[in-house]
A and B are shown apart, each in its own frame.
Chain A
Amino acid sequence: MMPARPRVPTNPASMLAACIGAALGAGCSGWQSALDPKGPRADAVAKLHWSLVTVATVVYVIVISALIFALWRGYRRPVPDQGHFHQETPEQADTMKRGVIVAVALTVIVMLAFVVTSVSVGSAVARVPGNKPLRIDVVGHQWWWEVKYPDPDTHNNFETANEIHVPVGRPVLIKMTSQDVIHSFWAPNISGKKDLIPGHETVTWFRADSAGVYRGQCAEFCGHEHAKMAFFIVAEPRLEFESWMQKQRGEAPEPPDSLTQAGQKVFLSGPCVMCHTISGTPAAATVGPNLTHLASRRTIAAGTLPNNTGNLAGWILDPQSIKPGVKMPPTQLDPSSLRALLAYLESLK
């Protein structure tokens, strides 16, 4: 990271340098960066990246030095008396030929080494580990992520959106498909990209080795709000994960007071119920994200806004100004209905 300095650069050159430095620094910092690996898959890819960059840098330096040396020598050589071209002696021609052969051979060897390492890393990260992975199903939608936790006992199945909780250290097997167009699952700190294809199931896996929240992002252009299609991998110690899962399995809590009861009525009688599910209520539509435990999530609208009252109100009334093109229509509510609805949604812990 760039240390903060009191002196602000003013001339264009140092400003440009500062910008490039900041961009490079940001690339290496933890937030959604492939260079700050927190799991074996991202780790293997980061190592591959650094080894390729190192070799390529060495080759680049050698080639550029040779070029500069040749230019410098040619500049110093006296201009030949006759003809336009410098004529080599047979010995010189032999030396040049040998040089070219050696350089080509070295290039071929380096490229072959690149192919071998890259293919072996690719096949190593693609191999799904056998020791009882946790299975999660992910369905891509324009522009949010449906996340399902299937269980052999179907009563324990539950659904959430845009937030994938996983236990630290346990491999996670992700089965993915898409509802509309091709999306791509990409959480750089944890796992490389894998496409979600409509009508077809793809599989990926990852393991998070340290607890934390890691941002992921759709990595295949999928329409207007592709950029606002984020998700979070929340890696927690096993016990915390188990208690989260236990909570998510439950139905939504009954509205505790008259305000939240009124809010539930607004939800069930208005347009909300056409698209969203809240388990334990008649709301069971699967067009939009499942809201059973909405208040337990960090963000709304697929990582677009922090989940708080103001943002939720703005989102419900006019989602098109926050995420233009989003499939959620604006909703007209009088202030008292809106307040009740917000109270109800915030009670869905």
Chain B
Amino acid sequence: MTRSDLRPRRVLYVGAAAIVGIATLVSCKREERRFRETPPSATAANLVTMSELQPGPAVIEAELRNPYEDNAYAVSEGKRLFDQMNCSGCHSHGGGGIGPPLTDNEWIYGSEPQNIFSTIIEGRPNGMPAFRGKLPNYQIWQLVAYVRALGGIQGKAVRTTRDDHMMYKESEQARDKGHPTPTFVPPTSVKQ
């Protein structure tokens, strides 16, 4: 075998190594953990409003990005908190019961990260408690990331996998992509 025979194969090896390297870098981002979060007061909690109505000229609200949207660790922490903070008490692992299900496409108060954030922090009529002051903002953002994983409106790669206990339906990761109803329905017009 001559030197030139080896060349195509070498290209193949180098290419494969590069692909593996890039994949590894991507997974670093997916698993990134931050121990020192910014103090709760310095985050954008005050930007989130309950209503889209504004006095004066309507300014389109800047979309708040969830810092944990693409982070598998944060989603799994959100899942832990979802049980430990007793969200499951009403939402029953996302299946609904006393509270509405979180696995369907109907989002009464909106499906964007900032909508879910304000639902958790402010509470909603008919039973959703307000968590303001009870959880630091970063944990609420983790819950937001998990709630969006429940509804399938988040990348499959970061969604949580199957539970240890009996599950209401297939694992978050195995679910189809959700198609949330895009309209925001003001609380007063919700059909009883």
Question: What residues make up the interface of A, taking CB atoms closer than 8 Å to B?
Answer: 198-199, 269-271, 273-275, 287, 320-321, 324-325, 329-332
Residues B164 and A274 in contact, CB atoms below 8 Å apart: no
Is there an interface contact between A198 and B36, defined as CB atoms closer than 8 Å?
Answer: no
Which of A273, A287, A321, A331 makes the CB contact (< 8 A) with B36? A321
- Interface residues of chain A: helix, strand, loop or mixed (majority): loop
Which B residue's beta carbon lies closest to that of A331?
Answer: B136
Contact, CB under 8 Å: B164 / A271: no
A275 touches B84 (CB 8 A): yes
Known: A271-B135, A320-B37. 10 other contacts (CB 8 A): A271-B133, A271-B136, A324-B35, A324-B36, A325-B33, A329-B135, A329-B136, A330-B136, A332-B40, A332-B41
Complex interface residues of chain B between 95 and 142 (CB less than 8 A to chain A):
133-136, 138-139
Tell me the nearest residue of chain B to A142, going by C-beta.
Answer: B80
Q: Is the CB of A325 within 8 A of B37?
A: no
Measured as residues with beta carbon below 8 angstroms from the partner, the interface class of chain B is 10 to 19
Q: Is the CB of B139 within 8 A of A329?
A: yes
Please list the 10 inter-chain residue pairs (A to B) with the smallest Cβ-Cβ separation, ordered nearest first: A324-B35, A329-B136, A287-B84, A320-B35, A274-B134, A271-B134, A332-B40, A325-B35, A320-B36, A329-B139
Whether A270 touches B139, Cβ cut-off 8 Å, given contacts A275-B84, A320-B36, is no
Q: Would you give 22 A-B contacts (Cβ < 8 Å), ordered by A?
A: A198-B164, A269-B133, A270-B133, A271-B133, A271-B134, A271-B136, A274-B85, A274-B134, A274-B135, A287-B84, A320-B35, A320-B36, A321-B36, A324-B35, A329-B136, A330-B37, A330-B40, A330-B136, A331-B136, A332-B39, A332-B40, A332-B41
Closest A residue by C-beta to B137 = A329
- The CA-CA distance from A271 to B164 in the complex, in Å, is 28
B138 interface neighbour in A269, A275, A329, Cβ under 8 Å: A329
Chain B residue nearest in CB terms to A323: B35
Please name all residues of chain A whose beta carbon is closer than 8 Å to the beta carbon of B134 when the two chains form the complex.
270-271, 273-274
B159 to chain A, nearest CB (A): 19
| Cα–Cα, bound, A273→B134 (Å) | 8
Q: Give the chain A neighbours of B40 by CB distance below 8 A.
A: 330, 332
Residues of B within 8 A of A324 (CB): 35-36
8 Å CB contacts to A: which residues of B134-192? Answer: 134-136, 138-139, 164
Alpha-carbon distance A330/B133, docked complex (angstroms): 12
Tell me the complex Cα distance, A198–B36, Å: 29
Task: Please give, as numbers and ranges, the residues of chain B lying within 8 Å of A271 by CB-CB distance.
Answer: 133-136
Complexed CA–CA distance, A198 and B138 (Å): 27
* Bound CA span A320–B84, Å: 20
Complex Cα–Cα for A271 and B84 (A): 13
Q: Report the separation of the CA atoms of residues A324 and B36 in the bound assembly, to the nearest whole angstrom.
A: 8
A330: which B residues are within 8 A, CB to CB? 37, 39-40, 136
CB distance from A265 to the nearest CB of B (A): 13
Give Cα A332 to B37, complex, Å: 12
